[in-house]
Amino acid sequence: MRERLDESIYWDPRHYEAHNAALTERDLPFLLRRAAEYGGPILELACGAGRLSVPLAAAGYQVVGLDLTTSLLEYSAERAREEGVAERLELIEADVRRFDLGRLFPLIVYPFNAVTHLHDYRDVLACLRRVRAHLAPEGRFLLDLLNPKITDFARDPAEVHREHSYPDPDGAGEVVVWESSRYDRATQLNHITWSYDIGDRRGVFERKLTMRQFYPQELRALLDCAGLAVERLWGDYDDSPFTAESPKQLALCTANRR
């Protein structure tokens, strides 16, 4: 079954890349350290525009990238060809809740909060069970998530704040992204709107993103239900341990042996 993702932030991979360039300087080295520890082939869930899978392939790992957005997979494939790593990057159009690749992986990664696209806990469980089914014996699963900060969700939906800025990929000056959000405490969904100024043009695009929040104990319970256990938990990409103040939950999981 082909599925469309109801998120508009992925409309242009070049903007997506430019928006996240500073992040790549932080999360890619973190992933490369895990790859050095556990080896490949590496399965990247929700690989998007290849922001991480292409450099992982360039570092010499065999990578399988899975995503359901055709345009992003096409962009990844082109990038892999341009960088001469196409033979090390296999791209698969599939849904993280239903994939069946018929092989096992020593390392499965699900970077950059992508699991927050799964809004219902049953979808999360379906995905984690697919992960469990694809883990090699002694394999590891790395899940990268925000550590939800309650004060971020207490914002007035009418309040707009500057989220980020980056150089326009078409050379039209600085892109400034303004964010407003509405958090629903019943569903744990944060409904985010980004408005883009480009150079001196205001509100050139408006994009929507809905991120489900995962609280630390809830995350462990979901992993446990899917047969996965947290072996190591970091709080940021510098390998610092997880604390109440950590911006991230970076959970390295094994198959649960109980």
Residues that bind ligand SAM (CB under 6 A): 5, 10, 46-48, 51-52, 67-69, 72, 95-97, 111-114, 117
* φ, ψ of residue 158 in degrees (nearest 5): -80, -15
Cβ nearer to ligand SAM, comparing 163 with 229: 163
3-state SS of the chain is CCCCCCCCCCCCHHHHHHHCHHHHHHHHHHHHHHHHHHCCCEEEECCCCCCCHHHHHHCCCCEEEEECCHHHHHHHHHHHHHCCCHHHEEEEECCCCCCCCCCCEEEEEECCCHHHHCCCHHHHHHHHHHHHHHEEEEEEEEEEEECCCHHHHHCCCCCCEEEEEEECCCCCCEEEEEEEEEEECCCCEEEEEEEEEECCEEEEEEEEEEEECCCHHHHHHHHHHCCEEEEEEECCCCCCECCCCCCEEEEEEEECCC
Residue 137 beta carbon to ligand SAM: minimum distance, rounded to whole angstroms: 26
114/230 with CB nearer ligand SAM: 114
Closest contact distance (angstroms) between CB of 114 and ligand SAM is 4
Q: Which residue is nearest to ligand SAM (CB)?
A: 48
38/99 with CB nearer ligand SAM: 99
We find the least distance from the C-beta atom of residue 204 to ligand SAM, in angstroms, to be 22
111 or 227: CB nearest ligand SAM:
111
CB of 258 to ligand SAM, least distance (A): 28
Report the residue number, 3 or 170, with the smaller CB distance to ligand SAM.
Answer: 3
In the complex with ligand SAM, the residue whose CB is nearer, 111 or 148, is: 111
Smallest distance from ligand SAM to CB 47, Å: 5
Minimum CB separation of residue 55 from ligand SAM in Å reads: 11
